[in-house]
Chain A
Amino acid sequence: MQPNDLDRIAQQIRLRDLQAVFEAGAGHIGGEMSAIDILAALYFRVLRIWPDQPKHPDRDRFVLSKGHVALALYVTLAKRGFIPEEEVATFLKPHSRLNGHPNCNKVPGVETNTGPLGHGLPVAVGMAKAAKLTGAAYRTYVLTGDGEMQEGSNWEAIASAAQFGLDNLTLVIDHNRFQQGASLKDTNNLAPFPAKLEAFGWDVTEINGNAMDEIVPALEKRGSRPHCIVAHTNKGHGISFMQDKVDWHHKVPSAEQYQIAVAELSEAL
């Protein structure tokens, strides 16, 4: 699948995500919009996966460590055939499989339960290490938020990944520069990330994380060390009034705002 097609898919995922947030009256729309291009590239180009065999031992692993953007993952999994597309409408409804954070024992395609931040990367290190021990060819990808990198557990895992020589592991940091209550810069500013990761023994690639022609080559890059992609993204990407506004971490659009957002995303299709 080529970048143009992936862009179209990403916009379709954005539209469905927006609609589900509006209808459910909840979600983490800012961080969903920033991450969706990366999810589209992974699920429609990069990952070796078989939606009808979600536990296939040779599948590539993807861990959504920023579990609060579960909705974006559900829409992507539905579009890719892991769950019925109509099921997205059950998001957050009583007894729906589609909780506010992904559940690997209920939703096919989810590898491990996330929600508390700083959990996905250590688990992904274990997955990549298992492949090294068993000789499996699968690769492991994990997506974290930039604010999430404040969790110390990530740095335990970063050190372990380098020690174990996990060249089969790719960490993508969704660097949208905002966390729940303020900007990263005004909270606990870990940026710039590259020198820190390099100092731990990782390869680092910086990209525009909302540009498909940069995302795909970065995800497909192979080296001899664990790989971190620092993906510069925009919180609320694709919806003008949300973009780079801290308020839109988990705000829900009004009916009027919803119409504007739908129009903008539809135009981009």
Chain B
Amino acid sequence: MNAITPSAKLHDCRDAFVAVLERLGADNPKIVAVCNDSVGSSKLGGFKARWPERLVNVGIAEQALVGVGAGLANGGLLPFVCGAACFLTGRSLEQIKADIAYSNANVKLIGISSGMAYGELGPTHHSIEDFAWTRVLPNLPVVAPCDSIETAAAVEWAASYDGPVFLRLSRVGVPDLLPTGHIFELGKANLLRDGDAITLIANGTITHRMVKAAAILAEQGIEARVLNMATVRPIDVAAVVAAARDTGAILTAEEHSTFGGLGSAIAEVVVAEAPVPMKILGVPGIFAPTGSAEFLLDEFGMAPAAIAETAIALIARKSSRT
């Protein structure tokens, strides 16, 4: 296959989210947006201008945000509950568990500005625990699209899926990677580049960094497979097992703590099904120092060159085993 080339232009995936939400909302009057004062940060201004009555703003009250969302679904509406991911998941986790996941309410939870997106605002605003908190909940798919194309496709899918969804979006600009017209499939990884030396797996804002790392490796004659794995739950077991068997080593990277996120979900499969050398990149279990999102991701070893170096070290571990 031809390797994916990241677009030069960077996109704020929130724009793709609201564009699809408004398009779907025009045809489906049951779609409502629910927010916690976050009209601006969730980019719901356009939705509000078109359908002011369908924007349900509970104010700065995240427990009510999620509970009200569950009640709106019970009343036959299709709520998209939007808030900064750090507050939406952290402040209202028990509401997500009881009112949404356990009750199996048809509510779409849209976590905005996830990961390190709030950079300099500090660890209170970093949402690097949300995969861990949400992926343990039954009934709740957890999805982190890698670009604006996948974001649009995932929103479209979420609206048609009968059940709760946690969609984890960023505000950090990312290049487009997936082809126009891409259709989102829950629990299905996308092959962005094939190779047999190692598999690089990421999602969200990190996927394009993995693609760039693979290009660096290729310059050195190392062919890496790159998977975009937006769905953290249910994890794509088949793709993980194939990666382990075909390439013998797996390197994951995510805009999340190295504890309990995408890498952990993959490791659970690797350990059970096909043990191979593996490394998880992310925020290494600390509260991050001051810095922009891009600075912090680089700081934690997720600059493309650093990812490539880590991959080479991991490949060496693979050969030392044989």
Q: Does A126 contact B (CB under 8 A)?
A: yes
The 21 sampled A-B contact pairs (Cβ below 8 Å) are: A103-B102, A112-B103, A113-B98, A113-B103, A115-B98, A119-B99, A122-B63, A122-B64, A122-B70, A123-B67, A123-B74, A126-B79, A127-B71, A127-B75, A128-B71, A130-B72, A133-B54, A156-B61, A157-B67, A160-B59, A160-B68
The answer to whether A122 and B67 have CB atoms under 8 Å apart is yes
Q: Is B56 an interface residue (CB 8 A)?
A: yes
Inter-chain CA distance A152–B94, complex, in Å, is 13
Q: In the complex, what's the smallest C-beta–C-beta distance from B221 to chain A, in angstroms? A: 55
| C-alpha gap A225/B256 in the complex (Å) | 45
Per DSSP, chain B at the interface is helix
Q: Is the CB of A126 within 8 A of B67?
A: yes
In the assembled complex, the Cα of A141 lies from the Cα of B94 at a distance in Å of 22
Say whether A125 faces chain B, with CB atoms less than 8 Å apart: yes
B104–A126 touching, CB < 8 Å: no
Number of inter-chain CB pairs below 8 Å: 111
CA distance A28 to B105 in the complex (A): 27
CA A247 – CA B66 in complex, angstroms? Answer: 35
Residues 106 to 136 of chain A near chain B (Cβ within 8 Å): 111-116, 118-119, 121-131, 133-134, 136
User: Chain B CB within 10 Å — which of A104, A140, A153 has the most?
Assistant: A153
Interface residue? A61 (CB, 8 A): yes
Give the residues in chain A near B99, CB-CB below 8 Å: 112-113, 119, 122-123
> Does B68 lie within 8 Å of A157, measured CB to CB?
yes
In the complex, chain B residues whose CB is within 8 Å of the CB of A112 = 70-71, 74, 99, 103, 105
Interface string of B43-59 (1 = CB under 8 A from A): 00000000001101011
A126 with B69: CB separation less than 8 A? yes
The answer to whether B68 and A126 touch across the interface, beta carbons within 8 angstroms, is yes
Whether a CB of chain A sits under 8 angstroms from the CB of B205 is: no
CA distance A153 to B93 in the complex (A): 13
Chain A neighbourhood of B72, CB < 8 A: 126-127, 129-130, 133
A111 partner residues in chain B, CB cutoff 8 A? 74
Indicate if B40 sits at the interface (CB-CB under 8 A). no
Q: Does A159 contact B (CB under 8 A)?
A: yes
- Kindly state whether residue B315 has any CB partner on chain A within 8 Å: no
Are A104 and B68 within 8 A (Cβ)?
no
- How many chain A residues have a CB neighbour from B under 8 Å? 36
Closest to B74 in A: A127
Residue of B nearest to A131 (CB): B75
Nearest B residue to A130 via CB reads B75
Q: Is A25 part of the binding interface, using a Cβ–Cβ cutoff of 8 Å?
A: no
> Which residues of the partner chain A approach B56 to less than 8 Å between Cβ atoms?
129, 164
Indicate which residue in B53, B64, B74, B102 contacts A157 across the interface (CB closer than 8 Å): B64
Q: Other than the known A134-B75, A136-B76, A153-B64, what 7 A-B pairs have Cβ atoms closer than 8 Å?
A: A118-B63, A121-B67, A126-B67, A127-B74, A133-B54, A134-B76, A160-B58
With both beta carbons as reference points, the residue of chain B lying nearest to A142 in the complex is identified as B71
Contacts of A121 in B (CB 8 A): 67
| Complex CA–CA separation, A129 to B99 (angstroms) | 16
Q: Which residues of A sit under 8 angstroms from B95, Cβ to Cβ?
A: 119, 122, 153
Residues of B near A116 (CB, < 8 A) are 94, 98
Residues of A within 8 A of B63 (CB): 118, 122, 152-153, 156
Does B77 contact A160, Cβ atoms closer than 8 Å? no
- 8 pairs of A and B residues whose beta carbons are closest in the complex: A126-B71, A130-B75, A122-B67, A156-B61, A153-B63, A156-B64, A126-B68, A127-B71
* Interface: A223 (CB within 8 A): no
Question: A105 at interface (Cβ–Cβ under 8 A)?
Answer: yes
Q: How far is the CA of A153 from the CA of B66 in the complex (A)?
A: 11
The residue on A at minimum CB distance from B34 is A126
CB contacts under 8 Å to A, within B101-125, are 102-105
What residues on A are CB-neighbors of B103 within 8 Å?
104-105, 112-113
* Structural contact, A126 and B98, CB atoms closer than 8 A: no
Cβ of A57 within 8 Å of any chain B Cβ, yes or no, is yes
Residues of A within 8 A of B104 (CB): 104-105
Alpha-carbon distance between A152 and B64 when the two chains are bound, in angstroms: 10
B152 within 8 A of A: no
Say yes or no: A130-B58 contact (C-beta < 8 A), given A113-B99, A153-B63. no
Q: Please tell me which one of the listed residues A114, A124, A136, A160 contacts residue B98 in the complex, with CB atoms under 8 A apart.
A: A114
Give Cα A119 to B77, complex, Å.
19
A108 CB, nearest partner CB in chain B, Å: 14
Assuming the contacts A153-B64, A156-B61, asked whether A57 and B98 have C-beta atoms less than 8 A apart, the reply is: no
Cβ contacts under 8 Å, A124 to chain B: 71
Which residues on the B side are within 8 Å of A156 (C-beta)?
A: 58-59, 61, 63-64
Say whether B74 contacts A130, CB under 8 Å.
Answer: yes
Q: Which of A199-245 contact B (CB under 8 A)?
A: none
Measured between alpha carbons, how far is A124 from B61 in the docked complex, in Å?
Answer: 15
